[in-house]
Structure 1
Amino acid sequence: MSLLRAKIPDVFNEPACEKNRGKDAKARKKGCSKPLTPGAAAGGCAFDGAKIVLQPITDVAHLIHAPLACEGNSWDNRGAASSGPTLWRTSFTTDLTELDIVMGQGERKLFKAIREIKEAHRPPAIFVYPTCVTALIGDDIEAVCKRAAEKFGLPVVPVNAPGFAGSKNLGNKLAGEALLDHVIGTVEPDDAGPYDINILGEFNLSGEFWLVKPLLDRLGIRVRACIPGDARYFDIACAHRARAAMMVCSTALINLARRMEQRWGIPFFEGSFYGITDTSEALRQISQLLVKKGADSEILGRTEALIAEEEAIAWKKLAAYRRRLQGKRVLLNTGGVKSWSVVHALMEIGIEIVGTSVKKSTVEDRERIKQILKDDNHMFEQMAPRELYAMLSEHKADIMLSGGRTQFIALKAKTPWLDINQERQHPYAGYDGMVELVRQIDLAIHNPIWRQVREPAPWDCQPAVREELPRTKSETATLHVVQEFAGTTADDFGAC
């Protein structure tokens, strides 16, 4: 716990972002994230954040040293995809019980679990995650991992991010610190080259990175390590020999990018693969950084040729959707890098942004939104469900893009909705991803179901019934009961 207490203030001291460089020394140490406050873990605890960052390392065994519920609540919390190993899809836990805790059997049970995983699965490494329970009872995770590594001859990495330490974002950063302390730089590759790069903060959700990697392959650029999306332990261990890096989600792993630049001189920039313009700009900046680090300048010309070719193909595909989506209004209820990257991507084809959430966005993200939208009137910190419903039911937006937690607000308001968070089923990165995003928006907005659900219900709109014979008292009483049950009156019943 003493190591954790010493690590947390260091994680929040983040001088890498441009906004932070302009602050005085005292303010700079606060970084861009808020320290631990009551209720800070409501959107996900530190353990959850660490698991999100590290679980997509696909050939590693992820062992949760805790009661069973901790692993059950955190497993498979992102829609990351793997092109090969499936060990990361297997759930490992020590499943501590009350008896283990009372009798002090936690460390012994952890050591036994590491041995069983090593013998049954032969992974290249094992990551061990303590949670609130094992951290509070004082199990020495680092000592057990060190002893197991010596005994079994494989890396056993302690990820010291128990849930009570803070929010999910803090857990993201603590996971980056674990990679720096125990993984990156532990293996020397024999094939390092001048065109090697790292991609940081890319989770390969729904296989998104697979739409971008072929572009880099055509330029002769090798991704030494994509952290964490579709990653392998050996690749991450060799990541210190890359020549440049691109930061996709700075909120999660900017501390990792900064420290790698300090230790091994790997320059980085923050970019996005969402949208045509941002994808092209990201490719340009990667090539420029490589040239600055010694690569042949001819890659700049090849990059421009590739961009021109891919942009022409993408714009041609988007031409059919532009006419159908021009002027459509979108409400974006997300955060982080998507709060500005998706905004820019949608505006490229003429879609109007009526609002974008900045709850999980950094100061830099907010500044980018202001530059893109030319003002901050369309930015909102947090919108209550009642306000979201009112905005959508009043038809101030034609579609809402958000995560699964707010989808039912849109559906209740009879408004199209599209998932763009980690649970999404379609990849939206790169040129092809932009076309897919626009296609999905078009399908959602123009789905004929919305016209049907917005029509009056049959019991609200019945054809007039002309009766030649007067009703009896019994018939009249029955009619009033039916009308009251259907929410109509005698005046509007029988009229549309």
Structure 2
Amino acid sequence: MSLLRAKIQDVFNEPACEQNRGKDAKARKEGCSKPLTPGAAAGGCAFDGAKIVLQPITDVAHLVHGPLACEGNSWDNRGAASSGPTLWRTSFTTDLTELDVVMGRGERKLFKAILEIKEAYGPPAIFVYPTCVTALIGDDIEAVCKRAAEKYGLAVVPVNAPGFVGSKNLGNKLAGEALLEHVIGTLEPDDAGPYDINIIGEFNLSGEFWLVKPLLDRLGIRVRACIPGDARYVDIACAHRARAAMVVCSTALINLARKMDERWDIPFFEGSFYGISATSEALRQISQLLVKKGADPEILGRTELLIAEEEAIAWKKLAAYRLRLEGKRVLLNTGGVKSWSVVHALMEIGIEIVGTSVKKSTVEDKERIKQILKNDNHMFEQMAPRQLYAMLSERKADILLSGGRTQFVALKAKTPWLDINQERQHAYAGYDGMVELVRQIDLAIHNPIWRQVREPAPWDCQPAVREERPRTRIETVTLHAVQEFSGTTAGDFGEC
């Protein structure tokens, strides 16, 4: 536990974080997030955050050492995609029971589970995740993994991020520490070149990275390791031989990028592949970093040619949507890098941003939003469902872009909604991804269902007022007969 405490303290003192540098010594020790309430999910625990970062490594077996529910609650919680191996889709857990805890059988059960996975699947590595239970009873995960690695001849990586140590974001960073300590630099590639880069913090949600990688391939740039999206264990083990790196989600793995720069002189920058301008700028910065590290300067010219070609194609496709969407109002209820990158992307085609959440955004993210929107009036740290509903029901926004948690607020307010978070079904990165995002927004806003659901229900309409005329003798006799038979009066009959 003392080693874990030291790792957590090191993460809290992250010098690459502008917000952390601005704190005094006492505030820095308290960490980056609000303390967790015992028994509350609080948006995800440290174990959940570590599993999110490492599970997209597709050819690795991910073994949860703890009760069955811990694995069930964390499995496949993001829509990351794989171009090959499917082992990461298999759940492994030691399924610790009360009797195992009382009898002290946790370490033996873990050792046996590692052997069973090796014999059944033969993975290049096994990642072991302790949970609150196994950390509290004192199972020595480090010792078990080291012994298993020596005996079975494969990499067994302990990921020390039990849930009680902190928030999901802290777990993200502890996962990066595990990669630095046990994986990166353990193998040497035989094909290192001057155009090798790492992409850090890219999860390949819905296959998004597959829309960007062809652009890099056309420039002759090889992605040595995409951490963690669609990654292979060997690629990450050789990631220390890359010449440059791009950080996509700084809140998750900024510590990993900084320490790789310190240890192996791999310069990095923070960028985004959301939006046409952001994608172009990311390609430029990658090329410039490679040139500084010794690549041929001619790549800069080839990058500009590629950007000009792809931008022309994308703007031509977007022209059909501009007239339909220009002036439409969008409310963003997300966070992190999407809080500013998606804002900039949508404003490029004339969409108005009426608000964006910054709950999970860094200080740098917030500054970018201020520069894009020219003020901070449209930024909110947190919006309660009641406030969100009031804003949507008053028609202050034409569509809500958010995660699945708030979709029902939009539906109740009879407002179009589009999933922009990790559960989404469409890829929005790169030039083609931007076109797809705009297309989905257009489909959502102009769906005829919204006009129908906003109309009054047939049973809520008022009875029609008709001009009375004198009844004939036959009508009067018939009406009296009906009233006598049914017990009704003339005032009961009306039309809608």
Under TM normalisation by the shorter chain, which class is it? over 0.9
Relative to structure 1, the CA distance from residue 107 to residue 442 in structure 2 (aligned partners, 3 Å threshold; closer, same or farther) is: same
Aligned residues of 1:41 and 1:166 also touching (Cα < 8 A): no
| Distance in 2 separating the partners of 1:113 and 1:144 | 11
Aligned residues of 2:33 and 2:167 also touching (Cα < 8 A): no
Query: Which consecutive residues of structure 1, in runs of 5 or more, have no partner in the other structure?
Result: none
Q: CA deviation at 1:415?
A: 0.2
Aligned residues of 1:15 and 1:28 also touching (Cα < 8 A): no
* Other-structure match for 1:268: 268
| Distance in 2 separating the partners of 1:90 and 1:116 | 14
Aligned residues of 1:463 and 1:495 also touching (Cα < 8 A): yes
Aligned residues of 1:62 and 1:128 also touching (Cα < 8 A): yes
Aligned residues of 1:40 and 1:166 also touching (Cα < 8 A): no
Q: CA deviation at 1:16?
A: 1.1
| Distance in 1 separating the partners of 2:224 and 2:448 | 46
| Distance in 2 separating the partners of 1:479 and 1:395 | 48
Provide, for residues 327-359 of structure 1, a one-character-per-residue CA deviation record: whole Å limited to 9, x for no partner. Answer: 000000000000000000000000000000011
Q: CA deviation at 1:461?
A: 1.6
The root-mean-square deviation of aligned C-alpha atoms, in Å, is: 4.1
Relative to structure 1, the CA distance from residue 418 to residue 475 in structure 2 (aligned partners, 3 Å threshold; closer, same or farther) is: farther
* Other-structure match for 1:99: 99
Q: Size of the alignment, in residue pairs?
A: 496
Query: Which consecutive residues of structure 2, in runs of 5 or more, have no partner in the other structure?
Result: none
Provide, for residues 28-80 of structure 1, a one-character-per-residue CA deviation record: whole Å limited to 9, x for no partner. Answer: 67775556676885110000000000000000000000111100111000000
TM-score, L = length of structure 1:
0.93
Aligned residues of 1:32 and 1:362 also touching (Cα < 8 A): no
**Structure 1: 4+ residue segments shifted above 4 A:** 18-41, 465-496
Q: Tell me the secondary structure at the aligned position of residue 58 of structure 1.
A: coil
Greater CA deviation, 480-489 or 348-357?
Answer: 480-489
Greater CA deviation, 440-449 or 12-21?
Answer: 12-21
Q: Tell me the secondary structure at the aligned position of residue 226 of structure 1.
A: strand
Aligned residues of 1:14 and 1:29 also touching (Cα < 8 A): no
Aligned residues of 1:248 and 1:270 also touching (Cα < 8 A): yes
Matched, 1:457 2:493: no
Relative to structure 1, the CA distance from residue 28 to residue 141 in structure 2 (aligned partners, 3 Å threshold; closer, same or farther) is: closer
TM-score, L = length of structure 2:
0.93
| Distance in 2 separating the partners of 1:66 and 1:471 | 83
Identity %: 91
| Distance in 2 separating the partners of 1:225 and 1:353 | 35
| Distance in 1 separating the partners of 2:179 and 2:493 | 69
Aligned residues of 1:202 and 1:226 also touching (Cα < 8 A): yes
Q: CA deviation at 1:15?
A: 1.0
- Structure 1 or 2, whichever has the larger Rg, is 2
Q: CA deviation at 1:22?
A: 6.2
| Distance in 2 separating the partners of 1:417 and 1:200 | 30
Relative to structure 1, the CA distance from residue 492 to residue 382 in structure 2 (aligned partners, 3 Å threshold; closer, same or farther) is: farther
Relative to structure 1, the CA distance from residue 132 to residue 321 in structure 2 (aligned partners, 3 Å threshold; closer, same or farther) is: same
Relative to structure 1, the CA distance from residue 494 to residue 336 in structure 2 (aligned partners, 3 Å threshold; closer, same or farther) is: farther
Q: CA deviation at 1:487?
A: 24
Q: CA deviation at 1:17?
A: 3.3
* Other-structure match for 1:315: 315
Aligned residues of 1:205 and 1:422 also touching (Cα < 8 A): yes
Aligned residues of 2:80 and 2:203 also touching (Cα < 8 A): yes
Relative to structure 1, the CA distance from residue 452 to residue 291 in structure 2 (aligned partners, 3 Å threshold; closer, same or farther) is: same
Aligned residues of 1:14 and 1:31 also touching (Cα < 8 A): no
Q: CA deviation at 1:373?
A: 0.4
Relative to structure 1, the CA distance from residue 88 to residue 477 in structure 2 (aligned partners, 3 Å threshold; closer, same or farther) is: farther
Relative to structure 1, the CA distance from residue 487 to residue 24 in structure 2 (aligned partners, 3 Å threshold; closer, same or farther) is: farther
| Distance in 2 separating the partners of 1:264 and 1:228 | 19
Provide, for residues 125-184 of structure 1, a one-character-per-residue CA deviation record: whole Å limited to 9, x for no partner. Answer: 000000000001100000000000000000000000000010000000000000000000
Aligned residues of 1:189 and 1:238 also touching (Cα < 8 A): yes
Q: CA deviation at 1:460?
A: 1.4
* Other-structure match for 2:149: 149
Relative to structure 1, the CA distance from residue 48 to residue 24 in structure 2 (aligned partners, 3 Å threshold; closer, same or farther) is: closer
Relative to structure 1, the CA distance from residue 292 to residue 302 in structure 2 (aligned partners, 3 Å threshold; closer, same or farther) is: same
Relative to structure 1, the CA distance from residue 23 to residue 465 in structure 2 (aligned partners, 3 Å threshold; closer, same or farther) is: closer
| Distance in 1 separating the partners of 2:398 and 2:489 | 33
Q: CA deviation at 1:12?
A: 1.0
| Distance in 1 separating the partners of 2:172 and 2:14 | 14
| Distance in 2 separating the partners of 1:143 and 1:358 | 41
